Amino acid sequence: MTTVTRETLPPGEVLCAYCTARCCRYFAMQIDAPKTWEQFDHMRWYMIHGAISVFVDGESWYLMVPGDCQHLQADHRCGIYETRPQICRDYSTDVCEYDNDGVYDQYFETADQLWEYAQAILPARPRRDPKAPVSLPVLQMSH
């Protein structure tokens, strides 16, 4: 079977006809780059709640959450194409993942990998006061 590339795409056809809908099988949220032990620890906490990963693309950090869109059909097409969310409408095959090998500048699949990275780049970790209250992190979405 010949693989269709962006350059060999037949006129009038779209890449989606040849794709397995990689863009519909996860979502990624940009997060602040961690700079402190506490920030890395919060990120580590996110990751121990399932198959969550973190990747870095350029200077930007992302939290990646796997999961197929509930409207993804067996043919890898959108079941609500005409009424899909705006974020889907804004996504273009001009820059989609069709021919992207999923290579990032940095990719952390486990909390242990992230923690090892933190240990390599941060100064020695200060000891935590066991009597100090613990606060859970809250994701902030920027607009």
CA distance 15 to 19: 6
Q: What pTM was computed for the model? A: 0.76
Maximum mean pLDDT: which of 3-12, 40-49, 90-99, 126-135: 40-49
User: Would you say 54 and 66 are in contact if contact means Cβ atoms under 8 Å apart?
Assistant: no
Which residues is 65 bridged to in the sheet?
27
Closest-CA residue to 21 (of 98, 81, 103): 98
User: At 28, which amino acid appears?
Assistant: A
Sole residue written with tokens 């989606």:
16
Q: What is the pLDDT of residues 37-51, one digit of tens each?
A: 999 999 999 999 999
Q: What is the pLDDT of residues 58-103, one digit of tens each?
A: 999 999 999 999 999 999 999 999 999 999 999 888 878 888 777 7
- Within 8 A by CB and 6+ apart from 95, the residues are none
Which contiguous run of DSSP H or E holds residue 73?
none
Residues 3-8 have a mean pLDDT of 85
User: Would you say 62 and 142 are in contact if contact means Cβ atoms under 8 Å apart?
Assistant: no
Expressed in angstroms, the distance from the first to the final Cα of the chain is 43
Domain ranges of the chain: 15-121
Q: What is the three-class DSSP state of 107? A: strand
Residue 78 backbone phi and psi in degrees, to 5? -80, 130
